[in-house]
Amino acid sequence: MTFHGARPRPEHMRNLRKGRGVPQIEVSKHPEASIPVTDMSLADIKRRRSHPAMWIVLMVLVLAAVIGPYWYGRHCAVAYTQQLISLFSMVQPRAVAMLSWDATVLGFIGLGMTVLDRHKIPWFVLFLCGLVTEQFMAGISMLKFHFWGSTYVMYGQASNVPDAANLGIIAAVMGLAVFAVLWIGLLIAVKKNSPLNVLARTWVSFLFYMIIEVAALCVVLFGGFIPRL
């Protein structure tokens, strides 16, 4: 037994031909452009949105934070040597190493989060504070490639404190270098479906970085690189 669909009614077909019973949608025949007419090219628009003046100000601030505190620290090392020697006798070298390491690591964290996070101003301020503190301590400690002789000539038996400050800074820098090599190696060697790919995520990478930095600090503090430390 075969069933055939019902045929449409003649009245319904006539209404459809006349446009009745069909919803009407009004469309503007002359839509207005949402983008104003301009003679600027796309490159010019991107150049205006890049805020070159702001980048110049940031670069000037970074250069000032690098040069100014280091120069002032060197000035204090020369002009107030005896006062600094008296101050060094009241502090523990390991505490100074941890302080310089903290300042350097906080500067690195601030710089990284300035690049990654939306709220750039607070992280950039943290970066500047860490950089200023680290450079000032490096200036007082006369940080350079061969700092051992310079600190001993300047501070004598009290040179273990500036040496510790230099080692804290070097530990933070070496920790960042080791992390960068390992992290880039993971990105290259680990496949996307590998469980190790979780190390490339932001906060896991941050935790991985802090583990390496703490390990570098422990090597400096307890590795016996300076017997006087």
Specify the pLDDT at position 11: 59
pTM of the model: 0.74
Domains: count for the chain: 1
- 26 domain residue, yes or no: no
> How far apart, in whole angstroms, are the C-alpha atoms of residue 124 and residue 7?
74
- 140 domain residue, yes or no: yes
Range of the domain at 207: 52-222
- 7 domain residue, yes or no: no
Where residue 48 falls among pLDDT bands split at 50, 70, 90? low
Q: Which of 10-19, 26-35, 42-51, 135-144 has the highest mean pLDDT?
A: 135-144
- 133 domain residue, yes or no: yes
Residue 16: which residues within 8 A CB-CB, separation 6 or more?
A: 22
Where residue 26 falls among pLDDT bands split at 50, 70, 90? low
> How far apart, in whole angstroms, are the C-alpha atoms of residue 176 and residue 170?
10
> Exposed, middle or buried by CB within 10 Å (0-12, 13-18, 19+), for 44?
exposed
- 189 domain residue, yes or no: yes
> Exposed, middle or buried by CB within 10 Å (0-12, 13-18, 19+), for 59?
exposed
- 124 domain residue, yes or no: yes
Across the chain, mean pLDDT equals: 81
pLDDT for residue 31 is more than 60: no
